[in-house]
Amino acid sequence: MKKFIRNTAVALITATVAIAAIIVIKTLNHTPPPFSDVAEVNIQLDEAKLAANLAAAIRFKTVSYQTSKGKQNKEFSDFIAWVATTYPQVNEALQLELVNQSMLYKWQGSDDALKPILITGHYDVVPVIPGSEAKWQQPPFSGNIVDGVIWGRGALDDKSGVVGILQAVTYLLEQGFQPQRTVYLSFGHDEEIGGRNGAGAITALLKEQGVQLAWSLDEGSFVFDGIFPGLDALMASINVAEKGSITLDIVATAPGGHSSMPPQNNAVSDLAKAITKLQDNPVPGGLGGLSTEMFDNVSRYMPFTMRGLFANQWLFGPVIDRQLSASATTNAMLRTTTAPTMLSGSVKTNVLPIEAIATVNFRIHPRDNMQSIEDYVTQLVASDTISVRARGGINASAVSDWNAKGYEDIARSMREVYGDIAVAPGLMIAGSDSKHYGQVADNAYRFNPFVLASEDLTGFHGTNEKITVANFAQGVRGYIQIIRNGSEQ
C-alpha cells in the first residue's frame, strides 16, 4: 500500500512538472516574428505642406446627409477641382475617370500580366450633430492647425486617407517610381450613405472592363495605441472582413382587453421573457479562424502571463473564451452580437396590448449568415404567442486571406514605417465601401496606416475629430510603402 501511494505521488508530481514544463516552453517560444529582416525606411516629407493640404481638404463641406436633400453639390465639385490643381503630377501621370462624383485614377503598371491593386478612401463626411458645434475646440470645418494638430470633420474619417494617398503617389512620382502592377486609386463621394453611386458604380465599371484586382485597400482599422486590451505595443490591425447585420422583430401577440382584469401573462410579459432568453443565450461563437490568428499574433507582444495563456490554448482555451466574451470589445470579435434596441406595446395606459414588439439588431460574424441567425432566434424564442419577423440586413463579407502577398506587403510596410510593432488580421465591426470593391478583388483589406488612441475614438462621427501633423505624415509614409511594396510582383 505504502509503495502504491509513493508511486502514485511520484507519477502525479512527474505529470505536474511535465505540464508546467510544456507551458513554460510554449510560452518562451511564443515570441514576436523576427524584426532583423525588416529595413526601417527614412522618408523625408514636407510635413507643413502635407498638413496644409489636409486642412484645405477638410474645409470643403462634402457632407453626406441621409437623404440627398441638403447636399451641397458645389462643395463636391469644388473638392474635385481642388484635387486637380493641388496634385498636378497625379493628374498628369495617371488617368482620371469621374464616376458620378467619385474619382477613379489609373496608374498604368509596367507589367500587364500582373493583377492590379486598388488603394481607396472616401471624401464625403458625416454631418456635425446640430447643437454640438460649440463642443468643438476648433470649428468642425475650419481645418485649423493648432499646436501640431489638424482639426475638423474628416481628419480621421476619411479625408486623411484620401489626401494621404494623393500625397503618397505625388511623392512616388517625384522619385520617378514606376509601378509594376497597375495601381488604381478611387475616392468615393457617398460612402457614408452606402456608397452605391460611388464605390458601387466604380465596381460596376471595373467589372465591365474585365478588371479583377489582386487586392484592394480601403479605410478600416488603424495602428492601435493602447486600444487593444492588455497590449502596450502598437498594433496594426489589418481588417480582413467586415461584419454583417440583421434586424429582427420579436413579436408577442395576445387577445388584449382592459387592464383592470389582466390575465396571468400578456404580450408585454411574454416579450420580456423572450428578450431575457435571448440575452441569456448569446449566439454561439468563440475563438477560431480569424480571431485565433489575431490573438495569436497580438499576444506575442503581451506580458508573460498573457503570453502564457495564449501560447497554451490547448489548456487555457475555455478560460480565454470566458474572459474575452465578458468584454464588449472582444466579445464582438468572437461572435454575432445581440442588441435589443427598440420596444413598443400598447397605445394606452389602461389597454392590454394585442401586440408587443422588440426590435433586435444582430451584427453578424462571418461564420454566421442572416438565415442562420433568424433560424437560431426562431428556434430559441418562437412559440404560440411569439413570432420572429426579419426586417432585412446584409451578410458578413468574405474573409480575405491573411497569408496572401497583399496582406504581407501591407504588414511589412507598417513595420518598415513604425518599427517592431504587432500586426494582426482583424474583423471590422462597421461597414465600408469594401462591400462593393470586394466584388472585384481577390482580397479586400480594410486599414488606415495612421495611429489611433482611445481618446481619438469619440472623433469618429462625433465631436473634436482631429489628427496630429506627425501622425498624418507617418501615415503618408505608410501609404508610400504600401504602394511601393504592393505594386511589385
In this chain, which stretch among 155-163, 198-206, 231-239, 481-489 interacts with Zn ion, using CB under 5 A? 155-163
- The residue (of 157 and 456) whose beta carbon lies closer to Zn ion is 157
Closest approach of Cβ 448 to Zn ion, in Å? 9
Written as nine digits, the cell of 237 is 490591425
Q: Could you tell me which stretch among 32-40, 56-64, 158-166, 444-452 binds Zn ion (CB under 5 A)?
A: 158-166
- Bridge-based pairing of strands 213-225 and 337-344 is unpaired
Residue 158 found at the interface with Zn ion (CB under 5 A): yes
CB burial string 274-310: b at 16+ within 10 A, e below: bbeebeeeebebbbeebbebbbebbbbbbeeebbbbb
Shortest approach of Zn ion to residue 218 CB, angstroms? 9
Long-range contacts of 70-75 (CB under 8 A, 24+ apart): 73/101
Minimum distance between the CB of residue 431 and Zn ion, rounded to whole angstroms? 9
How many Å apart are CA 415 and CA 421, to the nearest integer? 6
| Closer residue to Zn ion (CB): 159 or 415 | 159
- Least distance in Å: CB of 456 to Zn ion? 14
Binding residues for Zn ion, rule CB under 5 A, total: 3
Indicate the residue among 222 and 402 with the shorter CB distance to Zn ion: 222
Looking at the Cβ atoms of 121 and 179, the one nearer to Zn ion is 121
Q: Which is nearer to Zn ion, 270 or 456 (CB)?
A: 456
- Min separation Cβ 226 and Zn ion, Å: 22
The CB-of-433 to Zn ion minimum distance in angstroms stands at 8
Q: Which is nearer to Zn ion, 155 or 356 (CB)?
A: 155
Q: Is 208 a catalytic residue?
A: no
On whether the CB atoms of residues 400 and 445 are closer than 8 A, the answer is: yes
CA distance 113 to 208: 19
SS (H, E, C) 394-419: ECCCCCCCCCCHHHHHHHHHHHHHHC
Instruction: State how far the Cα of 315 lies from the Cα of 295, in Å rounded to an integer.
Output: 16
- DSSP three-state, residue 459: helix
Pattern of binders to Zn ion over 101-140, x per CB under 5 A? ----------------------------------------
CA torsion, ordered 49, 51, 55, 56, to nearest 10 deg: 20
Handedness of CA 469, 473, 478, 482 (dihedral sign): positive
For Cα atoms 213, 218, 220, give the angle at the middle one, nearest 5 degrees.
140
Please give the DSSP secondary-structure letter assigned to residue 87.
Answer: -
Residues 208-237 that bind Zn ion (CB under 5 A): 219
Angle 484-486-489 (CA atoms, 0-180°, nearest 5)? 100
Interaction of residue 242 with Zn ion, rule CB under 5 A? no
Helices (H) and strands (E) in the chain, counts: 15, 17
Catalytic residue among 157, 191, 270, 465: 191
Taking the complex as a whole, the smallest distance from the CB of residue 460 to Zn ion amounts, in Å, to: 8
Restricting to residues 298-357, name those near Zn ion by CB under 5 A: none
Using CB under 5 A, which of the segments 48-56, 154-162, 340-348, 451-459 binds Zn ion?
A: 154-162
3-state secondary structure of 316: helix
Which has the closest alpha carbon to 119: 131, 130, 107?
107
Q: Is the CB of 219 or the CB of 416 nearer to Zn ion?
A: 219
14 CA to centre of own chain: 47
Listed in sequence order, the DSSP H helices in 327-464 are 328-334, 370-381, 405-418, 434-437
The yes-or-no answer on residue 191 being catalytic is yes
Site string for Zn ion, 164-203 (x = CB under 5 A): ----------------------------------------
Nearest distance, CB of residue 23 and Zn ion, angstroms: 43
- Among 124, 157, 218, 416, which residue interacts with Zn ion (rule: CB under 5 A)? 157
Catalytic, out of 124, 157, 368, 416: 124
d(C-alpha 477, C-alpha 482), whole Å: 9
Tell the smallest beta-carbon distance from residue 192 to Zn ion (Å): 7
CB closer to Zn ion, 192 vs 270: 192
Whichever of 121 and 285 has its CB closer to Zn ion, that residue is: 121
Stretch binding Zn ion (CB under 5 A), from 125-133, 151-159, 236-244, 350-358: 151-159
Q: Where in the sequence numbering do the catalytic residues fall?
A: 124, 191
Residue ranges in contact with Zn ion by CB under 5 A: 157-158, 219
